[in-house]
Chain A
């Protein structure tokens, strides 16, 4: 069936799904309004000072980004690296990562994470597409309960893709650029009711406690990744990507994640894959939906240096187009907001 028909069917079916829940009547709304008015009288208080409403891009580093570049990649996940070879490469990378000593931070220092993202944003339901990028820098204190800082700016031009032009200027990345500070990295506007990032770890927010609670056996860790990722080996690789992008995974845990991924059957290894900064590394790739997703690691020390997503199925974007790519470097900063020397 054509994608268009599938889309129509999907939309129609979504319209029917769980549509039988009772709705509020006018009486219910009037009653609710009265209850709200009562609650406000009890609840009344002076307006609070708000934290900036932009959230850390590092925590949601899935910005659609990338240049229009054609690649020669086997998108099937059955490329030149056999499963055995991929596992060997991953275990070798793990050995390298395990041999690395993390830079120790003093209590007054900050982990500095610099990430560039570039990629393509599609306008849903049209052929319009544009490329844009951001540079995100984060300063993470040694004690995560202290104040974090994040700075985000546009990076590179925002431009229509040839053949996919819309009218006027492309919309760009939205209004999330700026400089933000918050304890625990709780930059979000809704921080009062989003889980506290100090106490609610996850793959996007790998707190020391979250990492410490992960299985230490690679096979068990792999099973955990598959369970949490909900998309087989592709989901597992996506979660590892999320965690590595945070810049907060110690070398020993990176090694463990690579050993866990060695249990995944469909991972394809490609050498000399360039990240957005042009630095080359070993790519661990797998098909994720209509894209081929790769994590790029430094073959010398197993450090994560970026990721890419390449279109694997012809659609609005041609197969081989880099949908998104990134480059990540880390360092140690002495002062909040100041880059490492």
Chain B
């Protein structure tokens, strides 16, 4: 018997995307500038160029041909970059302290507390704050800056750093608590950090 209905072609679910050259290059286009900005804030623009390039090559080495999701890959890239940045810890701390010295205004910041959210005060505080970042333990600084500068969520940082999300939150909590204390001390003492 003849049927007018065309035989149905079995529908297969699409194969999950894998990391190939095209997807890596597309990821570079969408992510490199943001990743570079984060790395440059930590170690300077020159070193950032190398770290970003190397991070993409490490991702390729480890994930080429593997299932690929752009969001997860972005978190991995920040993780790789963070690990690469550990080679630059001393120069990062020198940079942070130098920036702090250069940007700490020679004005009294005693009244920061009265205008807590004022943009001018935040800018004023950025100088000494940057020096305090250099005093944090590296594990705490990484989590704080991945949050503040890379704008990653704790769950993304957990993937990036390969630690439990609870660890991320603990480190973040400690880093913020230590910096809040420094700010409060500044407020109390009217300290001039110039």
* Residues in B whose Cβ lies below 8 Å from that of A169: none
Asked whether any CB of chain B lies closer than 8 Å to the CB of A176, the reply is yes
* Residues in A whose Cβ lies below 8 Å from that of B176: 7, 10
CB atoms of A47 and B63 under 8 A apart = yes
Known interface pairs A40-B21, A119-B166. Does A47 touch B64 (Cβ–Cβ under 8 Å)?
yes
Q: Mark B154-181, 1 if CB is under 8 A from A, else 0.
A: 1100100011111101111110111111
How many residues of chain A are within 8 Å of chain B by beta carbon? 71
Among the listed A35, A48, A64, A192, which residue makes an inter-chain contact with B169, where contact means beta carbons less than 8 Å apart? Answer: A64
* Residues in B whose Cβ lies below 8 Å from that of A7: 176, 180
CB atoms of B136 and A37 under 8 A apart = no
Q: Please measure, in the bound complex, the distance between the C-alpha atom of A235 and the C-alpha atom of B133, giving whole angstroms.
A: 16
Assign chain B's interface to a size class: 35 or more
Q: Mark A1-21, 1 if CB is under 8 A from B, else 0.
A: 101011111111111111101
CB atoms of B169 and A37 under 8 A apart = no
Closest chain A residue, CB of each to CB of B145: A14
Q: Please measure, in the bound complex, the distance between the C-alpha atom of A189 and the C-alpha atom of B75, giving whole angstroms.
A: 13
Closest chain B residue, CB of each to CB of A120: B166
Asked whether any CB of chain B lies closer than 8 Å to the CB of A55, the reply is yes
CB atoms of A35 and B53 under 8 A apart = yes
Task: Name 8 extra pairs, CB < 8 A, besides A13-B129, A29-B32.
Answer: A36-B56, A43-B61, A121-B169, A122-B169, A174-B164, A231-B178, A289-B178, A324-B170
Asked whether any CB of chain B lies closer than 8 Å to the CB of A329, the reply is no
Q: Mark A33-50, 1 if CB is under 8 A from B, else 0.
A: 101110110010111101
Among the listed B45, B60, B187, which residue makes an inter-chain contact with A1, where contact means beta carbons less than 8 Å apart? Answer: B187
Asked whether any CB of chain B lies closer than 8 Å to the CB of A168, the reply is no
Distance in Å: Cβ of B27 to nearest Cβ of chain A: 10
CB atoms of B125 and A13 under 8 A apart = yes
CB atoms of A63 and B166 under 8 A apart = yes
Known interface pairs A39-B57, A62-B171. Does A12 touch B117 (Cβ–Cβ under 8 Å)?
yes
Asked whether any CB of chain A lies closer than 8 Å to the CB of B91, the reply is no
Known interface pairs A16-B126, A23-B33. Does A32 touch B53 (Cβ–Cβ under 8 Å)?
yes
CB atoms of B99 and A33 under 8 A apart = no
CB atoms of A3 and B33 under 8 A apart = no
Asked whether any CB of chain A lies closer than 8 Å to the CB of B74, the reply is no
CB atoms of B184 and A1 under 8 A apart = yes
CB atoms of A15 and B58 under 8 A apart = no
Asked whether any CB of chain A lies closer than 8 Å to the CB of B84, the reply is yes
Closest chain B residue, CB of each to CB of A187: B162
Asked whether any CB of chain B lies closer than 8 Å to the CB of A184, the reply is no
Among the listed A16, A24, A193, which residue makes an inter-chain contact with B83, where contact means beta carbons less than 8 Å apart? Answer: A193
CB atoms of A21 and B45 under 8 A apart = yes
- Most B CB contacts (10 A, CB to CB) among A22, A134, A190, A235 go to A190
CB atoms of A16 and B122 under 8 A apart = yes
Q: Please measure, in the bound complex, the distance between the C-alpha atom of A229 and the C-alpha atom of B140, giving whole angstroms.
A: 12
- Most B CB contacts (10 A, CB to CB) among A53, A189, A195 go to A189
Residue contacts A-B, CB under 8 angstroms, 23 given: A5-B113, A9-B116, A10-B176, A10-B179, A10-B183, A14-B144, A16-B122, A18-B41, A18-B42, A24-B32, A24-B37, A37-B25, A40-B24, A40-B57, A63-B164, A63-B167, A121-B165, A124-B169, A132-B166, A171-B165, A190-B162, A229-B137, A289-B177
CB atoms of A192 and B116 under 8 A apart = no
Closest chain B residue, CB of each to CB of A5: B116
CB atoms of A1 and B28 under 8 A apart = no
* Residues in B whose Cβ lies below 8 Å from that of A65: 166
Among the listed B28, B130, B169, which residue makes an inter-chain contact with A18, where contact means beta carbons less than 8 Å apart? Answer: B130
Distance in Å: Cβ of A307 to nearest Cβ of chain B: 13
Which chain B residues have a beta carbon within 8 Å of chain A's beta carbons? 21, 24-25, 28-29, 32-33, 36-37, 40-42, 44-45, 48-49, 52-53, 56-58, 60-66, 76, 79-80, 83-84, 86, 95-96, 99, 112-113, 116-117, 119, 121-123, 125-126, 129-130, 133, 135-137, 144, 148-149, 154-155, 158, 162-167, 169-174, 176-181, 183-184, 187
CB atoms of B62 and A50 under 8 A apart = yes
Asked whether any CB of chain B lies closer than 8 Å to the CB of A72, the reply is no
Asked whether any CB of chain B lies closer than 8 Å to the CB of A144, the reply is no
Distance in Å: Cβ of A166 to nearest Cβ of chain B: 14
* Residues in B whose Cβ lies below 8 Å from that of A193: 58, 80, 83-84
Among the listed B62, B86, B165, B187, which residue makes an inter-chain contact with A174, where contact means beta carbons less than 8 Å apart? Answer: B165
Asked whether any CB of chain B lies closer than 8 Å to the CB of A173, the reply is yes
CB atoms of B83 and A190 under 8 A apart = yes
Q: Please measure, in the bound complex, the distance between the C-alpha atom of A161 and the C-alpha atom of B22, giving whole angstroms.
A: 47
CB atoms of A23 and B178 under 8 A apart = no
Q: Please measure, in the bound complex, the distance between the C-alpha atom of A234 and the C-alpha atom of B171, giving whole angstroms.
A: 15
CB atoms of A13 and B66 under 8 A apart = no
* Residues in A whose Cβ lies below 8 Å from that of B99: 17-18
Known interface pairs A37-B25, A289-B181. Does A6 touch B122 (Cβ–Cβ under 8 Å)?
no
Known interface pairs A63-B167, A192-B61. Does A1 touch B113 (Cβ–Cβ under 8 Å)?
yes
CB atoms of A17 and B129 under 8 A apart = yes
